[in-house]
Structure 1
Amino acid sequence: MLDDTFTLKKLEIFLAFMKAGTLADTAEDLGMSTVSVHRAIHSLEEGLKCALFRQEGRLLVPLPSALVLEERVLSIVASLDDAVKVTRETAGIYSNKFKLGALYSLTLNTVPRLIAGMKLRKGDLNIELTLDSNEVLFRKLKSVELDAILVSLEPGFRDDDFTCLPLFNDEVLLAVPADSDLSDASPLDLSDFREQTFVTLKKGFATFRDSYRAFDRAGFEPNVVMEVSDIFSLISMVSAGVGFALLPRRVEAVFENKIRLLPLKGMGDIRQNISMVCLANRERDPRILACIAECRTYSREL
């Protein structure tokens, strides 16, 4: 078994000496003193418990043992470099792969624009997109399964573990079928709909959270006839007359032939604060910096 005198630093000095050939040249290459180089080589021999060189005047001449050690150590260093590279890439660091998470509703406009902008900034970037709920996206970000996420944050959200960049905020409105005879001339009172049926997203989605916040303020428990896993299914259910829903305004322009969004009285402060979020200890990653820069450009152009 090797003792504590056998270190990677000493092996690096040994390899440098085998390449340079003399103590003086090795010391110059490494920015060390010749005494320190000689001491490191001698310490290696002590750790290995065998001679690596023979003394010929002021020169150290490699023995066969030194040549074997050089060959094996070069292989070990190459394997170690590869291990570091693979480890970093597995963790998503210094890779051309960028894992972005987003809410389903943001694929209608925000996500395509951000991805297009990031590809212009870093053409070699391979972007993988994951769509899921607020809850799942945050969990995947914490476990470094995602590099950055586009989510809806609670008002006043603050956590030193995350870096957050606000993009825009979106009001929550009542979604009704496109052919509904309800008027949008003035805000509607949600409490007037206590006897109606509703369709919602499943728990964990930002729209689920905001919907129940509105129901609570209106003073009733909704008659939910269906819970779905994505906003597109939700819109289809509303369009088909299965039930009403509460949805963010950003879906209106794309689905105006299927649904109408009507303002609600006293609900103006129930808004979705859409932000880009990454881990604070990873914000200097070049890929994440490109995402941050593009998000800033996007928010300025809104």
Structure 2
Amino acid sequence: MRDRIDEEITFRKLEVLLAFMETGNLAKAAEALNVSTVSVHRALHSLEQGVRCALFRHEGRNLKSTEAAQMLADVAQEVITLMSDGIRATREAAGYSSDRLKIGSLYSLTIQTVPGIVVDIKVRRPTLQVELALGSNAELLDKLKQGAIDAALMALPDTDPEVESIPLFEDDIFFAAPAGSPYAKQEAIDLQDCRDETFVSLGDGFVTYRGFIEAFRVADFTPKVTMRVGDIFSLMNLVSGGVGYTLLPGRVRGVFGDKVQLIPLKPQYLMRQTIGVSFLRARERDPNLLALMAVCRLRTRSAG
């Protein structure tokens, strides 16, 4: 069994030793490390106590290193270099400051929001490779907490001590109907008038589905849902094909041209989503995430 390393020997003190060996002077070492001369002297003396042998000798007022100090310095250089490489590799394994940024997103945000953010962040960090994962709000939040993605562009989640969020914009929910439907000329839809209609929807976990359920709770009836799908573009296809009506966020307006019409709901059914970027608080100092946050904040100010 190897001897245990004395607690007096620390990485910081080894760095002080290396600075002294390089400069050969207490004052210059202190200046290089931005500490006091007394701090340097104490650190070197503490190392002597830790290794239990003399590392320096006094020549008048000057402190001179011994062969033992040079031996320790050679080893310290290797140890510190190895530890620095290990910390960098550890951070990269955790996705911290690596050359890749994994962003999760709602399907609907790939129309405008995601492309704009990716372009902006590539301007800031040209060598950064951005990967995109799509899913529902629930799926993205789960991936974020598991570390499968670095950040998520989605509706702001409920308050969570692990998660930090930056709002980007707010989006209203509209009644979605195929072109030429009986509702096409109405200025606003009263869901009470739609009791006998057929509807299609997203599945559980999607923030738009949550708004869908809440709107019909206010209307005080359960809609006849004939089909549920796992992405908003399939949902719009069903609407345009006349399979059923649904509720959609305003950000998808125009995706299907004139095939799908978004009509305002009456005020009592108003549902609003707050879209933003979310990330783990534990990683808020990650340089890649700092760049992403800066881009998002700039877009928010520009939109305002």
User: Could you tell me the TM-score, scaled by structure 1's length?
Assistant: 0.81
Partner of 2:253: 252
Give, as a single letter, the amino acid of the residue that structure 2 aligns with 1:261.
L
How far does residue 85 in structure 1 lie from its aligned partner after superposition? 2.4
Q: Aligned in 2, Cα 1:173/1:36: closer, same or farther, shift over 3 Å?
A: closer
> 1:167, CA displacement in angstroms?
1.6
**Alpha-carbon offset, residue 218 of structure 1:** 1.7
Structure 2 distance, partners of 1:273, 1:112, is 19
The structure 2 residue matched to 1:81, chosen from 81, 84, 98, is 84
Equivalent position SS for 2:169: strand
Per the TM alignment, residue 199 of structure 1 is displaced from its structure 2 partner at its CA by: 1.5
Identity %: 41
Give the counterpart letter for 1:165 in structure 2. P
- Give the equivalent residue in structure 2 for 1:291: 295
Find the residue that maps to 1:119 and give its secondary structure: helix
2:24 pairs with 1:21: yes
Structure 1 equivalent of residue 196 of structure 2? 195
CA distance 1:186–1:12, change in 2 (3 Å): closer
* 2:153/2:277 contact within 8 Å kept: yes
Q: Which moved more, 1:217-226 or 1:139-148?
A: 139-148
Counterpart among 170, 177, 188 of residue 168 in structure 1: 170
User: What SS is found at the alignment partner of 1:204?
Assistant: coil
- Match of 2:104, SS state, is strand
Pair 1:45–1:221, CA change in 2 (3 A): same
CA–CA distance in structure 1, aligned partners of residues 39 and 115 of structure 2: 58
Alignment of 1:140-289 (within 5 A): 140-142=143-145, 145-153=148-156, 162-170=164-172, 172-278=173-279, 282=284, 285=287, 286-289=290-293
Judge which range, 6-15 or 262-271, deviates more. Answer: 262-271
Letter in 2 for 1:288: L
Matches within 5 A, 1:45-124: 45-53=48-56, 60-63=64-67, 65-124=68-127
CA contact (8 A) 1:168 1:299 kept: no
Cα-to-partner distance string for 1:37-78 (whole Å, 9 max, x where unaligned): 444334323322344456677553422x43432222111111
Unaligned regions of 5+ residues in structure 1, if any? none
Provide the C-alpha distance between the structure 1 equivalents of 2:272 and 2:201, rounded to a whole number of angstroms.
Answer: 17
What is the root-mean-square deviation of aligned Cα atoms in Å?
3.2
Q: How many residues align?
A: 295
Residue 131 of structure 2: SS of its match in structure 1? strand
| Structure 1 residue 227, shift from structure 2 partner | 1.6
Q: Determine if contact 2:96/2:286 at 8 Å carries over to the other structure.
A: no
SS at match of 1:100: strand
How big is the shift at 1:188? 3.3
Q: 1:102 to 1:24 in 2, by over 3 A?
A: closer
Give yes or no for contact 2:168–2:296 (8 Å, CA) kept in 1: no
Are 2:137 and 1:134 equivalent residues in the alignment?
Answer: yes
Deviation at 1:279, TM superposition (A): 5.1
| 1:260 partner amino acid | Q
Instruction: Provide the secondary structure at the position in 2 that maps to 1:175.
Output: strand
SS of corresponding position for 1:234 = helix
